[in-house]
Amino acid sequence: MSLTKLEVRDYLIGFVFVLSMVTIATLLGDYEIILPEIGALTAGTWIYHNSSWIAQPFKIFLAPSGTAVIGFLVNQLSITYAEKVYLTLLLILLLLSVLRSTLAPSFATGLLPIIINATHWSFIVAILVFTLSLTVGVLLQGHYRGKPAGQPLHVSHMLGFTLVASVWVAAVWLAGFPQMAGIPPVLVVFFEVSQMPTYPGKLAIKQIIALAGAATLGVLIHLVLASWLLTTLIALPLVFVLLQLLRIKLPAAYAFPLLALVLPTNMFHTLPIAATLAACFFLGSVFAFRKVTALRGLASEND
């Protein structure tokens, strides 16, 4: 996909914005300031101008900030890791329903404090500052004007999301890998595609490759360089190249290299495998459901 001068400018601004976040974290020596989903939000709002994300600019601040607070508070509870993930997912759905928002990255900001075991208020301050900056950027760009207002979450969609997530959380818990219960970028894509009326198998395969590839790039580069700044500087352009080769726009993929920087050791080394398995399960579930629904519709027409 060729880029216009305007798109190149937007990519560079987004890249510098994310890089500045990692630079601040490096200077302060505080990994809780590195927010992986800011990479995805930046790509989706400033670069791709995703209609459903920018239609109501202030929710770019309200929804991710609200879910981050939810995740931060749930993380303080004395319950198991898998239970924290499951409870947080339910509360995120409730908040998005109240806000009438379908901003998928909100799931990632809500799960992050549990995954990295955030305990300092610098995490909340960073979320507030960076999401507010993104909101201001969207307002200045003006692409949100004329976009239709966000649609409320349908009960059927919420139930479907909860059911599939419940199966996954229970499966990895019973298998002895509770750290795989929440893979934020995968859940973001799952939430997005589950709202699509159709979901072609070709697109599902491309998205699985993109998510698995981005996770692998983040882990491999960080293993070699062991530097937050250098990993970001090299990994994000490579994710861009990967998406260009696949000819898809997938903001969530940009979160994986940043996620690799903040994961605990037991999750870091297994991230590529966990991301691949989670992507196959969640995106495969949507594809299978759409396929079954289409076949049922065809059968009804023939009756």
Q: What's the per-residue H, E or C state across 128-161?
A: HHHHHHHHHHHHHHCCCCCCCCCCCCCHHHHHHH
Amino acid making up residue 147: K
Report how far residue 141's alpha carbon sits from residue 280's, in angstroms, rounded to the nearest whole number: 36
How far is Cα 23 from Cα 165, in angstroms, rounded to an integer?
Answer: 34
**Alpha helices, DSSP H, located in 175-248:** 184-193, 201-225, 228-246
The pLDDT of residue 302 is 63
| Count of beta carbons in the 10 Å neighbourhood of residue 213 | 21
pLDDT at 298: 66
Q: Phi/psi class of residue 214: alpha, beta or left (left: φ > 0; alpha: ψ in -120 to 50)?
A: alpha
Exposure b/e, 95-132, CB count within 10 A at least 16 = b: bbeebebbbbbbbbbbbbbbbbebeeeebbebbeebbe
Q: Give pLDDT, residue 181.
A: 86
The answer to whether the beta carbons of residues 55 and 147 sit under 8 Å apart is: yes
Number of domains in the chain: 1
Q: How far apart (Å, rounded) are the C-alpha atoms in residues 192 and 220?
A: 28
pTM confidence score: 0.93
Q: What is the rounded distance in angstroms from the CA atom of residue 222 to the CA atom of residue 257? A: 8
Q: What domain range is 207 assigned to?
A: 5-302
- Give the whole-angstrom CA distance, residue 251 versus residue 211: 10
Q: Are 67 and 113 within 8 A, CB to CB? A: no
Mark the ranges of the chain whose per-residue pLDDT is less than 70: 1-2, 149-152, 297-303
User: Which helix (H) or strand (E) element contains residue 226?
Assistant: none
Q: Is the separation of the CB atoms in 252 and 188 below 8 Å?
A: yes
- The three-class DSSP label of residue 253 is helix
| End-to-end CA, the chain | 44
Structure tokens at 120: 């300092």
Res 151: pLDDT: 65
Instruction: Let me know if 225 is exposed, middle or buried by CB neighbors in 10 A (0-12, 13-18, 19+).
Output: middle
Given a contact cutoff of 8 angstroms between Cβ atoms, the answer to whether 93 and 158 are in contact is yes
C-alpha neighbours within 13 Å on the C-beta side of residue 298? 6
CA distance 92 to 165: 13
Which ranges constitute the DSSP H helices of 75-119?
Answer: 81-99, 105-115
